[in-house]
Amino acid sequence: MSDSQTIAVEVVGIEQVTPLIKHFRLAPLGAAALPVFSGGSHIIVVMQGADRVHKNPYSLLSSPQALDTYEIGVRRMEESRGGSHFMHDRVVVGSRLEIAHPVNLFPLDKIARKHVLIAGGIGITPVLAQLEDLHGGSVPYELHYSVRSPEHAAFLQRLRGSEGARLNMYYDSEGQLIPFEPLLGSQPLGTHVYVCGPAGMINHVIATAQASGWPDSHIHWEQFSAPPVGDAFEVFLARTKISVHVPPDQSLLESIEAAGVEVPYLCRGGVCGFCQTRVLELDGDLVHNDHFLSEADKAKGKNIMPCVSRARCKRLVLDL
């Protein structure tokens, strides 16, 4: 995508829902309703910072039936490069932002016989919209939601109201853990599991499900990586024939964009594979931070996801 296809929105509501999470309501500028979407979708929010443009993916947590506003939840990241701090500290009611059309990389499977939804912390956000799509349907589902402590249980009132007994809460502070082995070991055939949360939780769910005999096609997960910081390095773009400096706190994709070169992207979180770029030369190591390339592909070092991945090298040449 390019920024000409974004939608201008105004922040019409902000609520601090936990010590770390703020809940934003975004309304379109002008009269038109926002685009229809499906549960599990995310948008890219474009933030004009003082010295840099932030483009972060956030899941839509509002009902796909309610298109007068989109709602997102933003967790303040400890090691933020700026995006989440910008949303928390700079954005106020009345602020204007640009957003991209929704993209769904975490959709519910329409032929599932049952859905098991597992969320950890801020990972509850895409699940909230998925639940809206499940209401009124005939397919059974259950939700398992794990948080650090009661004060970190974002959107709990909304969930209690809509989900009743289908909601299972787990508080780390009370020593409550989601019982993954019995949960995933006792589901009927045709069940799909969806997990969104910290990397450790996702990896554990995937490993447990696989060990319990689940087919990979029935295991769904989503985790957006914020681009990690790293050492500075130089990249040469072979087609455009320019050199770009990548500073420690800016991603490869952001640095290339700042140099005026457009790279096609979708999620900016290492999930979709859309920005995959060929590596032509390298005098060091790639630091792969994406969830798209297989371990074998990462080892080969022929391709990189510039949205989250970096290099430890003096010189990297990309096919751009």
State whether residue 266 is helix, strand or coil: coil
Asked if 5 contacts 100 with a C-beta cutoff of 8 angstroms, the reply is: yes
Q: Which is nearer to another protein, 80 or 104 (CB)?
A: 104
Among 18-26, 51-59, 109-117, 118-126, the segment contacting another protein (CB under 8 A): 109-117
Minimum distance of another protein from residue 274's CB (angstroms): 5
Burial 50-59 (b: 16+ CB within 10 A, else e): eeeebbbbbb
Q: Is the dihedral of CA 260, 249, 195, 162 positive or negative?
A: negative
Question: How many residues of this chain interact with another protein, rule: CB under 8 A?
Answer: 20
Q: Which is nearer to another protein, 68 or 181 (CB)?
A: 68
**Structure token pair of residue 282:** 């390298």
For 29: left if phi > 0, alpha if psi spans -120 to 50, otherwise beta; the answer is beta
Minimum distance of another protein from residue 101's CB (angstroms): 5
Q: Is 110 in the site for another protein (CB under 8 A)?
A: yes
Among 62, 69, 80, 104, contact with another protein (rule: CB under 8 A):
104
Q: Give the bridge partners for 221, in sequence order.
A: 195
Among 72-80, 95-103, 169-177, 239-247, the segment contacting another protein (CB under 8 A): 95-103
**Contacting residues for 182 by C-beta, under 8 A, at least 6 apart:** none
Q: Is 206 in the site for another protein (CB under 8 A)?
A: no
Q: Is 207 in the site for another protein (CB under 8 A)?
A: no
Q: Is 241 in the site for another protein (CB under 8 A)?
A: no
Q: Is 35 in the site for another protein (CB under 8 A)?
A: yes
Q: Which is nearer to another protein, 5 or 161 (CB)?
A: 5
Q: Which is nearer to another protein, 43 or 202 (CB)?
A: 43
Among 10, 27, 38, 85, contact with another protein (rule: CB under 8 A):
38
Among 131, 154, 266, 287, contact with another protein (rule: CB under 8 A):
266
Pairing of strands 114-120, 41-48: unpaired
State whether residue 46 is helix, strand or coil: strand
Q: Is 5 in the site for another protein (CB under 8 A)?
A: yes
Q: Which is nearer to another protein, 272 or 307 (CB)?
A: 272
Q: Which is nearer to another protein, 110 or 241 (CB)?
A: 110
**Contacting residues for 66 by C-beta, under 8 A, at least 6 apart:** none
Strands (E) across the chain are located at 7-16, 21-28, 41-48, 53-59, 70-75, 96-99, 103-104, 114-120, 141-147, 167-171, 191-196, 219-222, 233-237, 242-246, 277-282, 285-287, 303-304, 310-312, 316-318
Among 9, 103, 118, 308, contact with another protein (rule: CB under 8 A):
103
Residues at the contact surface with another protein, assessed by CB under 8 A: 1, 5, 35-38, 64, 101-104, 107, 109-111, 217, 266, 272-274
